[in-house]
Structure 1
Amino acid sequence: MAVAQDAGWGGAYGGAPYGGVPYGGPPGWGGWTPPPKPGVIPLAPLKLGDVLNGAFSTMGRYGKPLFGMAGALYGGALLIMAAAVAVAYSSVSGPLKRVVSLSYDEEPASADVVSLLTALGVLVLLGLVTMAVVSGLMYAAVPAVLREAVLGRPVAFATVWRQAWSHVAPVVGALILTALIAVVPVVLVMVAILGVAVSIIAMESDGGALTATGLGLLGVLVTGPLAVWLWIKFCLAPAAVVFEGQGPVAALRRSAQLVRGDWWRIFGITLLAGMMAAAAGYVVQMPFSILGMFPGVIGTSSLGDDPSPAAVIVAMSGSLVAMMLGQLVSQIISTTFPQLVTGLLYVDRRIRTEDLGPVLAEAAGVPPQGFPHQGPVPPHAGGPAQW
């Protein structure tokens, strides 16, 4: 496949924005030729506006498979956890009632405490496993939709589901490795600082608490930037898994390779996308929170002086349902939009560094205008360029 060797701004794209040829365009025109745009983005180096417009366009054109997948996953996770809480409550309702009814000067029975802690531990473990699987599926589903959106091809919910399931294990592995690489050094440093702080406070020296607080802030200032730097360095790993079929470790290496030389730009766009998603999620969640106040107030007004935990849960059920629905919608937005932006940044980096634009144009079946063919694309370290 003949494509341009140099992926620089003035090489593969003729020195014009978006890969256009500044002179010598189509016969009779002689001006700049825009790059092809079969899908949600032009197949050329992307500006900030292109990335954001591409993310919004993908949500608009591919909303059914995208939000359908998100709703099914997070809704299913919510139902699983609700059923688990119901089963746990039925199992430990007796110990819970006895512990709640104790006065301040009474100690709970050890058997009751063990039962409650066991149930809580099972719920926490189930929640962690469920969220890991759901997050892995979403981080795999968004690039699967985006791959077709870039090429302008339709995609069905069943296809997205199959592709997400086929990549969920390596995506979860890449996410776990990223979290460990970014968080473990921070945790170790903070533990060391906490130990120093405890020692200072235990010595009861003058200004010990103030010194401990200062050490804690110093630890955050030292380790926080390290965690952010590592997180951005590996943020393209899920997209590498889906687009290229990479394993977890290879995906981390691939992400680091693509981010190299453009860390600050990726950081800025990722931060902006996260802030936009958080603001949109807050705005969407607010009506649900306001709506949930009314059944909560009405339900609690009917409670007696000494209500049981079950009575409190029933009285607050309307408020809890409204809050959970609001959280569900907010979670879908805060997960989907930033991942679309990250996936487009992955595409942008491959267009800039590997001249992927002509390859995508050929895959989409459109004329590769604005792409002067000069030779084969050099393969990256992990193998030949894939899509």
Structure 2
Amino acid sequence: MLFNRMETGRASISDAVYMEVITGLHGTTMPTILAAACQAMVGAIMTYETGDIATAALTVAGVVVAIARLFEIVAFRRRLARPPQLGRAEAARWERRYIAGTIVTALVLGVFAARSIVLGDALCSVMAIGIGFGFGAGVVARLALRPVAALLDLVAIASPAAIVTFMQPDLRHVGLGLLILMYMAASFEMVRLSFNASINQITLKRQFEQLSRIDPMTGVSNRSVLAADLPPMLAAGMVAVHTLDLDRFKEANDRFGHPVGDALLRQVAGRLKALAAHDDLVVRMGGDEFILVQRAAADAEAMARRIVQSIGAPYDVDGQVIALGVSVGVAVAPQDGRTAEALLSRSDRAMYRAKQDGGGYVLARELRMADTTASDQPVAEGLAA
């Protein structure tokens, strides 16, 4: 079938691309307003010239449907602006509402154009059919990424007028009907071409965005992701920041060479990803320094122990067994800080303390307690004197 390939592509697009498509559908109200205004104007003229009640009813119906669609677009924008984030299933419900509105609009405009042909006023027919053609062009432009919906819209808008013209015995009406059918066929082809081009463009855009967030060496996130994602994670609740620095990595890199060093970094990243939960964040900051942001902050110390045990296990690179260590500093929000900067600073400080102690992990709260004890000691000595 003509739309088989398009429907396969439609189903396979990622959630991120799908959300961009649905947001784009609701991106403007101007086409809906203009279509309603044009139909109201032409319908008023036709009703005045012919006195046809059916034309008046179709005009009112078109305006009512347009108002309902405007409310739906505004409601979607308000939903998008408030938490939680819109999921694919909910977005699909909004899509169905939007498409139902376009199909009803297309059907009203199609019957409106057919009625103008029945009334026999040539100028009114030109205006009514022109609105339908304009709406069809908008369907091709806006709904190319929803090909079945575009097909239904084009059929709804063209079929009533085509049926009416073919019911007339004269050559002029038959010619008009053929023109309408050719317009519909050309529109189908434009939808197909636009779909392929748009899917490729959006997918490439998402791929480039994803690449800009990934460390090419290890495949984990890069430091730009930490700056963008850590503040929202903090706003959502408790998190633990684990700052890691590999021990003896420089010696291994100098002894075995950079290719082996790169392979070690990739294995370290793989072990961290295996430890992290699906909603945790693993970041390579640069060199041999990594950060793991853990959402289950209550389990922070247990996670630090698992990191030390996993990263400290021997590595096999091209038959070479290499042993590394790791120093980990752990800061937990909100006890150790309420901002990304405070947490990163305190976990970094704890990591350096762990490195001074020969590896392992140090909790930022232990440093705070030590600092508090040190600051209170002179006061206690003064009281004793």
Q: TM range, normalised to the smaller chain?
A: under 0.3
Q: Indicate the structure with greater strand content.
A: 2
Q: TM-score scaled by structure 2?
A: 0.23
- Greater RCO (Cα-Cα under 8 Å, separation 6 or more): 1
The structure whose Rg is larger is: 2
